[in-house]
Chain A
């Protein structure tokens, strides 16, 4: 039993230790510079969008990778964070250049899946040998929440389904799978919530991680600025965030949360919002 048999050394490291500050600051600076240049009319707005997408998701993933590696005591391959950022930038650029280009964003989850397969992401709750039951539960929760969104939005607010434009659904969902969902889940659940729950109670950790993810989504320029959509986003992101925290806490794996988010965002993309 640990409390009797192991030496107790009180934890000293802060929640923000091992953050790749230089990379985060660099990405933020690039975004600021691109936005400034676009404001001055020297850069097209599409470039700013690519830089913003890369900076946001790249920074979240880079921090998540660094924290996860430090917490699990594993070494990531040299330049993993940079590779992740480059892959997101490439996917975003391809997406901006061609309507099928967005599929290139899938390189990021594939690269991360490779890392997870080699056991380098176990600090984030990703690895081999996930048990099926939590993944099934995650799938059911995602489907139920997505189904509820579809039903209430279409019945209550009258948003139609995008059944006829499946290409748009696919490309936007690819963005979710390749950047949005993985960056949010890896950072807010796998890294942040995981760190917080090892210091605080589940409730406090889940509340803070969900509140921060809420801020990230509400401040996202891609979210339509319609009140009912913002209110809906607040509601569903809160529920989804809380449930995903619980799934990670319950199963010790990030996979169920990734699946529930992916299914929920598929439902969201099926709606003709934005």
Chain B
């Protein structure tokens, strides 16, 4: 308002000076009109400069026309007319340049503000609201909306849900900006312009603006450029956020792997040390002292059992190592009699005498196409697991039954403490030990190796457990071809 008053006062002042000055002086003083014209052009742009120049011409014209009417088109009068042209030209040109510079500066400031709004990590909807607030404060439009497509959803800021067939949906689909000169229904035309937010040349969203009144081609161009920059900024923010999440996830995984490795090293060294201690102890005793034959026999049995345990642990390590490195397990498959395989595996474990091992095999079971040693390891692993996690004296049931066309279904059922539900998805993972296993020995390899061996046979394994009621492990091995 102060600038407007100053411009008006200068115009009036210049008019008064030129009116009351001597004709020769007035000819020079008319150039004073340039001052308010340029000030208005710098302050109010093209319209301000043009209107001030037009007002100056209107104020000065009667005197010039009177001179022309009186004396004809003299040289001073012609110069005066040229001054009019200069005034309008200067007002328009300076106003246009000032408007362009202002718009350029505003665009850069808006971009900076958008970048700043996206520096803090936030959910997409919050980031969009921030960008929208930035744009709304600077673009000077009536309504502004931002939509961004992410995966299968569309996030919207500044409007209701995106309707299929709307202008914004069209732009999101085609990636081309759209301008509607009037959306209709108002006393004044309401312009709508939607520009795509582009990332790597693809539309990832759209910036929609609406204004009652004019939305010039230059403004639309600026908004389209701004939308492209916003698209890049949003994409960068999205990538940065994704990278941060990935880094955090990676760090979590490394920490978890380190913890697992430490736990594994502790458990494995304990598992290896136990049989080794027994072997070392008994071998030292045998070397230093003389025992009865029966005692020597007992010691050698213990040493044999511990050696077998050691071999089993090392075999498990080797198998798991092969699997983790991406190698397939080598199986030597043949027709294996199921009842004999079950009886053999159970018989070895029955010697421990701690549990009642019940075998329930159907009559006339078909032979399976399996690696006999692998099947033996699977059964021994599952039965010894069942014995390990169920109280002494309870029954462990080992069953086998034919499954039509699918092979033979084996099951090992114990009445032990069971596995907590949250641990069930992880029981087949290597090195995993369910919480609450207490002092039970194990490296967390058994079930992982069992699953790998069953997978290698083309079979399936399933585990059901109810805390306090026991666990049932079921697996199927394909039948042998007749």
Contact = CB atoms under 8 A, between A and B. Distances in A.
A4 B210 CA distance: 11
Contacts of B147: 4
Nearest to A145: B58
Interface string B391-418: 0000000000000000000000000000
B475 to A, nearest CB: 56
Contacts of B178: 8
A220 B40 CA distance: 38
Contact of A156 (B69, B170, B186, B192): B69
A6 B156 contact: no
B184 to A, nearest CB: 8
B194 A3 contact: yes
A42 interface: no
**Chain A interface extent, by class:** 20 to 34
A14 interface: no
Contacts of B189: 197-198
A122 B166 contact: no
B181 interface: yes
Interface string B148-181: 0000000010111111011110100000001011
A75 interface: no
A200 B160 CA distance: 28
B294 interface: no
Nearest to A125: B187
Interface in A152-209: 152, 155-158, 197-202
Contacts of B61: 152
Interface string B198-231: 0000000000101001101100000000000000
Contact of A7 (B160, B165, B190): B165
Given A148-B58, A152-B62, A200-B181, A5 B161 contact: yes
A84 interface: no
Interface in A81-129: 122, 125
Interface in A239-273: 249-250, 252-253
Nearest to A194: B189
A200 B217 CA distance: 11
A1 B158 contact: yes
B163 A249 contact: no
Given A252-B186, A252-B188, A253-B187, A2 B210 contact: yes
A16 interface: no
A5 B147 CA distance: 12
Contact of B188 (A3, A7, A158, A249): A249
A155 B69 CA distance: 10
Contacts of B163: 4-7
Nearest to A5: B160
A152 B64 CA distance: 10
- In terms of DSSP, what is the predominant structure of the interface of chain A? helix
- Most-contacted residue by chain B among A122, A125, A151, A201 (CB, 10 A): A201
Contact of A155 (B66, B181, B184, B190): B66
Contacts of A152: 61-62, 65
Contacts of A5: 159-163, 166
B166 A8 contact: yes
A8 B167 contact: yes
In this complex, which of A2, A6, A197 has the most chain B Cβ atoms within 10 angstroms of its Cβ? A2
Nearest to A158: B69
Contacts of A122: 187
B66 A156 contact: yes
B251 interface: no
Nearest to A197: B189
Contact of A4 (B168, B184, B187, B188): B168
B174 to A, nearest CB: 12
A148 B58 CA distance: 8
B337 interface: no
Contacts of A199: 181-182
Nearest to B162: A4
B73 interface: no
Given A152-B61, A156-B66, A156-B69, A4 B183 contact: no
Nearest to A242: B54
Given A152-B62, A198-B182, A252-B187, A4 B165 contact: no
Given A1-B160, A201-B217, A157 B210 contact: no
A201 B214 contact: yes
30 contacts: A1-B143, A1-B210, A2-B143, A3-B159, A3-B166, A3-B194, A4-B147, A4-B162, A5-B159, A5-B160, A5-B161, A5-B166, A8-B165, A8-B167, A148-B58, A148-B62, A152-B61, A155-B66, A156-B62, A156-B69, A157-B65, A197-B182, A198-B182, A198-B184, A199-B182, A201-B217, A249-B213, A252-B186, A252-B188, A253-B187
Given A2-B143, A3-B180, 6 more contacts: A1-B145, A4-B159, A4-B161, A4-B162, A8-B167, A200-B181
Interface of A: 1-8, 122, 125, 148, 151-152, 155-158, 197-202, 249-250, 252-253
A-B pairs with lowest CB-CB distance, top 8: A252-B187, A1-B159, A198-B182, A3-B208, A156-B65, A4-B159, A152-B62, A252-B188
